[in-house]
A and B are shown apart, each in its own frame.
Chain A
Amino acid sequence: MHHPGVSYEGKSVSRAARDPLWSRVFLIAGALVFLGVLLVLPLATVFVEALRKGLGAALETFANPDARYAIWLTLLVAGISVPLNLVFGLAASWAVTKHDFRGKSLLLTLIDLPFSVSPVISGLFLILVFGVNGWFGPMLNSLGLQIIFAVPGIVLATVFITFPFVARELIPAMESMGREEEQAAVILGASGWQILRRVTLPNVRWALLYGVLLCNARAMGEFGAVSVVSGHIRGETNTVPLHVEILYNEYNFVAAFAMASVLAILALLTLVAKTMLEWRIQRLQQQVVLERTRHRDPALVGPQP
């Protein structure tokens, strides 16, 4: 991040305004050590441990049907919950930013609820509602539907946990866009759907993509809530994070870390994509600033070259 005018290399900053050398070295070194111990080292350990007995041993993990099933289940759960939350998030942020209604602040608070509630509690809550002894348990049982300790429960837990990601990214983006463009479109005869597709979405597409990315990363990595509702049945209700835990508890370290590196690689890819998106969004914002400054340019009336 560059701050105009506060460049440390630049001579524009007076000596007095600078921190002394020792303090800068101390702060930067401190930050690096912190990052190294808490972030880089654990991440490296994952890969090192996975490859301890060679690449072949690590790859063998993925020959196991339970491991393959866990990966497939994780993709399935993410594949269901991300699109669902894309729609929910879009609807919620559209409602919150483009309309005024009673209970708007309540809705905003509710959107954030999954962030503030411990995932374990969310899982327990689902058991309370859909479990065999829960509110809807007997009814679901008589219909032959199983939600808890089955895939639907895992999907529900994941949807709940990842609900805020898309909405949280979209709300500020839509807010900064204002409502005038949509109003102009209405007056020109556009329907709600046409406005969403042609005016609103193109303007927030990067924020939307960013939200989907974060939502996906969390959907694939969620442990707590999924752990409570899954029942840990191998080959049936084990997602990748749950499978890692089981393998680890069985002292099968190579397999555990090999599975974990799948998640780690996913995290790294997400990070790269996120950085690229941020860079892109920043450029768009600079363009907006540029636009605002140009706003004051004198314009000439009459034919122009």
Chain B
Amino acid sequence: MKDELILQNIKESLINIEEEKCMNLMQDALDDGFLPVEIIEEGLSPGMLSVGEQFEDGAVFLPQVMMVAALMEKCVAFLNDNMPESEASKIHGIVVIGTVEGDVHDIGKNIVKVLLNVNGFEVHDVGRDALLSKFIEKAKEVDADIIASSALMTGTMEAMGDLESEIKAAGIHDRVKTMVGGAPVTQYWADKIGADAYAENAGEAVKLVSDMVK
């Protein structure tokens, strides 16, 4: 019988950046009959999301977030090696992400990027102060499922509306969904400009992207 507590322990060891313990627990979980995908979805991902939430609350700091993300990547690579060939390296979706032109704020965008990455998404970052054409070009190049844009200022969030127009003009609106986020952005704003989703924080961004690519 599978011991569900082991997934909780994996989550805790990830949060505490206990690499050896985490690796051993994952091996125990595999021996116990857990599927790699179960370990990711019920052990590692909740751990990573928890760290993201703690960062937003000021309880943990950026180096810890990055170290947890690095450990999570190692864990996912280990589990990938133990997955059936059909499941291994399965990408959940392709995301193009960036902070819109005129806006240099990228801390929040970087956190979303890390969380998406470790949750199995292929993420292409067009950076901060990114020309809207860069979002479009990259989305076409990688055949993206999602274009996610961030803005921290009311003056620059207007560019999100322009991005929606440019996506339509580029003829890729039918095959790519859009998500917006950042301090001044609201669901009202997302609806107004025609974005498909609005994420209030990094954890919600991962959930929304997961839902949109299903």
Q: Do A and B bind each other?
A: no
What is the interface of chain A, defined by CB distance below 8 A to chain B?
none
